[in-house]
Structure 1
C-alpha cells in the first residue's frame, strides 16, 4: 500500500544535531575514535544521592501513575526552588511537571498559539522553537542574536517585528547555542515591551545553573508585572546531569497550567513516579554537586576558548553560560555544514554546523565542552591540525 503522511509533518525539520550524532556513532561502530562535541548533555554521571533516591522509590513500589500535574510534593519542591533561587512566588498549583523540557515546549506552544499567530524566536536557537510553531500552523518570526552585540537582543528589532498577530516572545538564557546570558537591564527593557504590547514571554532557563565569570541569572518572571505573562520553563537535565531521566517543568498562571495539562494528559500522562521522587531529593538535598560540575565546566571552557582563538581562521567568545562555545569560522569562507562534515571525516571530531540553529548560525560551529578535559585537549589539537591543513 502507498505511504500517506500528514502534510503537517513536512513543516517539521529533523534534528541537525542528531544527524551529526548518528554519523559519528556509525563511524565509531566502524572502529573510528570520534570525540563528541555535538550532543548537549552533561558527561558527568547523575549524583549518587539522586540515583539512590530513585532506587529507594522503586524498592518502595513507586511504579504507578501519579497525578497528571505531577506529585504534589515535587511541585512544592519546585515552588520552593523558584522562590529561593529565582525570586518568583509560584504556588504548587501553578506548576506542571513534564517529561523533559521538550514536552514542556510543545505543551506551552500548543496552548498559546493558534494557526496564523506569530511568535518572536531568537536566531540562532534550539530548533524546537521553530519546528513546533510551524507544526501548529503558526509562524516563528526570527530576531537576531549578533556576536558583535554580545549575543544580546536588539530591542529596536523586536519592536520593528511586532504585528497585530504577535502572541509571544521566546527567550533562552543562558542561550543554546551561543552561550550568551541576557543582562538584567536587557530583560527589564524587554519586560517593558511585553507589558506595553500585551505579549506573553516564554523563558527557557534550563541552563541557569551553568553560569560563569560572576554572571547572574535573572528570571524575567521575577520582574514587576511579568509573572502573570511568563511561562518559566526548566528541568533537571543540565544542572543535575539527569538528561536521560526526562524530567522538566513549566511554571505559569494556573489558568494556563490547567489547559496545558490537557495536552500533557493525552501526550504522556505523567512523568515516571520514581523519577519524580528522585527530583524531589535533587532539589531538596543538593550539597555542592552542581557547583563542582560548574567549576569543571569552567576549566574546560577556558582551555577550549583559548585554544580556538589561537587557530588561524577561527575565533570565539568565551561563553558566560551553558556548556557551548559558538565558534566563528566565517574567515575560512566555507559553509558551516561542509566544514563540520570535513572535521568529522578528517579529524574525527563531531561539531554541529551553526545553520542547524537558524540562518543566523551560518558561519559558526557549536562545540559542547561537556566532555572530559583530556578529550577537549585532544579535540582542540585535532581541530587545529585539520584547519591548518585546509
Structure 2
C-alpha cells in the first residue's frame, strides 16, 4: 500500500553505486571470502587521539544539547581562521554554516540554489550526489568532460558552449573524486572568468584539499578576484582528520545568501552534533603532525600502486596529485567497467567501483581507493595481476 504512495521521482532515483559494490563485497565476506576493500573513500587511519579525547571530554562536560543551527560560534571562528590561513579567504562567522557531513552540505546548497528546470554544470566523471540530487529537485545537470587525454583538465570552450540562459551554477571538485586530479591555476582562472561573464554561481568541493602529493598545490577559487561573492565552498573533517563516521562538514559563502542556507539547514538537520563540534574545534586548533603523517602514508601507497599497476598488461593509470584514488584504465582488458569490477571482486576478491558509477566518461575505467594498509595494497596488486593473467589463458 505505502509503496504506491512514493513520489514518482523515487522511481528513477538510483542507489549509490559505491554502496552497491560494498554490499556485494560484504555478502561475499559473510560466506567466508577474504575481500580487500578498495571501493570506499574512507581513510583506514583511526581518528587522531587528541580529537577523540576532546569529544569524550565534551560529553563529560555535558555538552549534549542543541547548538544554534549554524554551529558553535567557537567552531565557526576556528573554521574562519583556517580558511584565512590555508585558503587566503576571509569569512566572518555568519558566513559559515556547519553541516552534518559534506553530504548534507551538498544537498543544502543545491536545494537553496536550484529551481525546477534550472541547469547546473557538473564534471563528468563526478561524485554521484552531484549528479543525482539536482534531478531530485527537478533541475537538470549538464556535464562537462574531464578526460585522461587532457590530464583531466576541463575544456573551457566546451563549458562555455554548454552555458544557456537556464544555467545557474557550475560545480568543481578539486582534488577530484574519483580521478585524483587537481584543477590547475589556469583552469580555475578560466572557470572564474566564465562564472563572472555569465553570472554563474560556483559550488566548489574542497574536502580533499590537504591530501596532496608530489608538491602539488591546491587553490581555492573563491580567493580569485571577484569570486568570493559568487562561490559556495564546501569542506569538512572526514578525509583530512579521518573523521568519516563523525559526520561534520561546513559551507562558506557570501553573507547575502548564508541566512537562507542556514534556514534550510535548520529545517533539515536542526544542528550538527554538539560534542562532535567541540572535537572539531580541537582538530583545527591543536593539530601537530597527525595529518602530515597520514598524507605521507598515502603518498607511499600511491607511489607503489602507480608503479606496480602500470606493469600489469591491460591496465594503466595516471599519477594522481591528490585525494586517495586511482582511476584505472582497463579498456585493453576487453571488458566493460561493470564487468571488470565484478571480475576482480569475484576472481581476485578485490572490491573496486565501476567508473560508470561516476558518469559516462567513466566507461572503460574502475576506481580504486588506496585508503588501505600497505600490506593489503600489496596483496591486492598480486591478486589483480593474477586475475589478469587468468584472462589470457
- Counterparts of 2:42 and 2:255, CA distance in 1: 31
Residue 365 of structure 1 corresponds to which residue in structure 2? Answer: 366
2:141 match: secondary structure? strand
Structural mapping, 1:101-120, within 5 Å:
101-120=102-121
Q: For structure 2, which runs of at least 5 residues remain unmatched after alignment? A: none
- Counterparts of 2:43 and 2:195, CA distance in 1: 33
Residue 194 of structure 1 corresponds to which residue in structure 2? Answer: 195
Residue 158 of structure 1 corresponds to which residue in structure 2? Answer: 159
Deviations along 1:295-345, one digit per CA (max 9) or x if unpaired, are 000000000111110000000001000000000001112111011011101
Structural mapping, 1:177-188, within 5 Å:
177-188=178-189
Residue 3 of structure 1 corresponds to which residue in structure 2? Answer: 3
Deviations along 1:7-48, one digit per CA (max 9) or x if unpaired, are 122342110000000011111111110000000010000000
TM-score (norm 2): 0.98
- Counterparts of 1:306 and 1:251, CA distance in 2: 38
Residue 272 of structure 1 corresponds to which residue in structure 2? Answer: 273
Q: Give yes or no for the alignment of 1:81 onto 2:82.
A: yes
- Counterparts of 1:3 and 1:85, CA distance in 2: 49
Verify the 8 A CA contact 1:11 1:131 in the aligned structure 2. Answer: no
1:326 match: secondary structure? strand
2:182 match: secondary structure? coil
Q: Give yes or no for the alignment of 1:241 onto 2:242.
A: yes
Deviations along 1:56-88, one digit per CA (max 9) or x if unpaired, are 000000111000010010000000000000000
TM-score (norm 1): 0.99
- Counterparts of 1:199 and 1:84, CA distance in 2: 27
- Counterparts of 1:153 and 1:66, CA distance in 2: 41
Structural mapping, 1:318-333, within 5 Å:
318-333=319-334
Verify the 8 A CA contact 1:169 1:201 in the aligned structure 2. Answer: yes
- How far off its partner does 1:2 sit? 5.4
- Counterparts of 1:41 and 1:97, CA distance in 2: 21
Structural mapping, 1:24-173, within 5 Å:
24-173=25-174
RMSD between aligned alpha carbons?
Answer: 0.7
Residue 258 of structure 2 corresponds to which residue in structure 1? Answer: 257
- How far off its partner does 1:282 sit? 0.2
2:372 match: secondary structure? coil
- How far off its partner does 1:162 sit? 0.4
- Counterparts of 1:12 and 1:78, CA distance in 2: 34
- Counterparts of 1:256 and 1:12, CA distance in 2: 28
Deviations along 1:265-316, one digit per CA (max 9) or x if unpaired, are 1211111000000000000110010000000000000001111100000000
Q: For structure 1, which runs of at least 5 residues remain unmatched after alignment? A: none
- Counterparts of 2:50 and 2:227, CA distance in 1: 35
Verify the 8 A CA contact 1:11 1:134 in the aligned structure 2. Answer: no
Q: Give yes or no for the alignment of 1:295 onto 2:306.
A: no
Deviations along 1:336-375, one digit per CA (max 9) or x if unpaired, are 1011011101110000000000000010010000000000
2:190 match: secondary structure? helix
Where in structure 1 do 4 or more consecutive aligned residues deviate above 2 Å?
none
Residue 17 of structure 1 corresponds to which residue in structure 2? Answer: 18
